[in-house]
Amino acid sequence: MTRLEIIELRAVPGEEEGVLRLLTRWQADMLAEGKVKQVKIYKNSSVATDYSIHLTYDPLHSVGRHWLHGSCLAGELEKFGLINHRVWLELQLSGHKADGEF
């Protein structure tokens, strides 16, 4: 089951450079060490200080306390503004019928 963590940040205006510096370093470290399968970082199209970080874990290689990576990042980002951190698990709907019954 694929796990997706989404960390949203609404940074205080003027903190953008610090946010980008932290995210650049963090993303490089996580990918180099193989701690996450994929890291995608988005910026809101209309609010310059809104960021969304998406972490995907490989279900075959994610063992132990991998959930700590997103929590640690969210903790580091708190100094820049408001944080929303959610964890999503992929649904496997292969047995789903059109009428809603399984």
The pTM (predicted TM-score) of the whole model is 0.82
Question: Does CATH number 3.30.70.100 belong to domain 3-89?
Answer: yes
For residue 49, which of 18, 85, 92, 9 has the smallest C-alpha distance? 9
Q: How do the domains of the chain map onto residue ranges?
A: 3-89
pLDDT per residue over 91-101, tens digit each? 888 766 655 55
Alpha carbon distance 95, 13 (integer Å): 48
Alpha carbon distance 46, 99 (integer Å): 39
pLDDT per residue over 44-57, tens digit each? 999 999 999 999 98
